[in-house]
Amino acid sequence: MSGKVFLDYDQAALDAQYNNRVKVPAYPEYLVRYKAQSEAARSRYTAARLDVPVGPSAIERVDIFPAGGGRPAPVLVFIHGGYWLMLDKADFSFVASGFVPHGITTVVINYALIPSVRMDEVVRQSRQAVAWVLANARSFDGDPERVALAGHSAGGHLTAMVGATDWSRFGGPTPAAPLAAMPMAGFSLSGLHDLVPISRSYLQQDLGLTEDEVERNSPVNLSPPRAGAWLALVGDREGPEYHRQSAELAARWTAAGHPQVASQVVAGHDHFSIVAALADPDDPLTLRIADTVTGR
């Protein structure tokens, strides 16, 4: 009897692929760093609008860090990670420090965590938040035609799920505010695009995913975005499964006919450092994303 639970992995090997805290022993230092840099960003950007409601539930709030400048600015919507189980938008305000200096208004969204809701609701809330940004960008001097997405880990999964949204069916956040556009680019950093191995790993004990939830919430199974440039980024210090997750998304969406989707390995980064880089406006990864968002 085979001990394989996914591809050539037995249970222990598959669990090891997705246990980032074991793979990166310094992870507690990163979490402290995220929090400190986020508190500093909220203090620095005094024009920020915090906890703006964007959906029907109390958790559906966003933090908006305007670029200023008196003209409609491009917008980057950031979706945090934490395996859909932990963390909060307040832990990731630091990304504004990387993008506001480039004239990019930064919006960090929140969503309810499993097990308080099912995966379908996490995805709906993420789509709702982006729909609200698209429909209301002008209210905070954002350009609805230049709204891009970025997300890390589980947030990379949600970025891809938002990208795969059929916006004509999803509709606007309210009847009075129809969608003006759709995302023009997306960046999944160490994203999870195939939920099958997740549902067979140690994470399943907390996530409780059904087979149907896995099928309909795996971006690799969905039609690609209708437009825009989409990039799956993964650090070279990640394990093979994270590399496969990014390459598989690019391969599936390319095969489905999307001409502007790719995967790329980012040198020098592990699972936690790749998102920490976004606090630095001069980091090559930040610049890569900023150049696409601003059209430089």
For the stretch 240-277, pLDDT in tens is: 999 999 999 999 999 999 889 999 999 999 999 999 99
CATH of the domain at 91: 3.40.50.1820
Q: What is the pTM of this model?
A: 0.96
Q: Which position has the token pair 């009075």?
A: 176
Which element (helix H / strand E) includes 30?
Answer: helix 27-44
Question: Looking at per-residue confidence, does 91 or 69 come out higher?
Answer: 91
pLDDT of 176 reads 45
Least trusted range by pLDDT, from 40-49, 67-76, 77-86 = 67-76
Q: How confident is the model at residue 170 (pLDDT cuts 50, 70, 90)?
A: confident
The end-to-end CA distance of the chain, in Å, is 56
The span from the CA of 259 to the CA of 255, in Å, is 9
Could you tell me what percent of the chain has a pLDDT over 70?
96
Task: Reply yes or no on whether the pLDDT at 180 is more than 60.
Answer: no
Identify whether the C-beta of residue 292 lies closer than 8 Å to the C-beta of residue 148.
Answer: yes
Going by C-alpha positions, the residue among 211, 127, 194 that lies closest to residue 165 is 127
Helix (H, G, I), strand (E, B) or coil at 15: helix
DSSP track, 226-263: SSSEEEEEEETTS-HHHHHHHHHHHHHHHHTT-SSEEE
Q: How confident is the model at residue 2 (pLDDT cuts 50, 70, 90)?
A: low
The span from the CA of 272 to the CA of 58, in Å, is 29
The span from the CA of 265 to the CA of 214, in Å, is 26
The span from the CA of 53 to the CA of 277, in Å, is 28
Q: How confident is the model at residue 182 (pLDDT cuts 50, 70, 90)?
A: confident
By residue range, what is the domain housing residue 263? 4-294
Q: How far is CA 148 from CA 79, 142, 151, 157, in A?
A: 11, 11, 10, 15
Task: Reply yes or no on whether the pLDDT at 179 is more than 60.
Answer: no
Q: How confident is the model at residue 206 (pLDDT cuts 50, 70, 90)?
A: very high
Query: Rounded mean pLDDT of the chain?
Result: 94
pLDDT of 296 reads 79
Helical H segments across 82-203, by residue range:
95-99, 119-136, 154-163, 167-170, 196-199
The span from the CA of 296 to the CA of 265, in Å, is 22
Task: Reply yes or no on whether the pLDDT at 175 is more than 80.
Answer: no
Q: How confident is the model at residue 171 (pLDDT cuts 50, 70, 90)?
A: low
**pLDDT, average across residues 18-22:** 97
pLDDT of 258 reads 87
> How many domains does the chain fold into?
1
For the stretch 131-141, pLDDT in tens is: 999 999 999 99
The span from the CA of 69 to the CA of 75, in Å, is 13
**pLDDT, average across residues 102-123:** 98
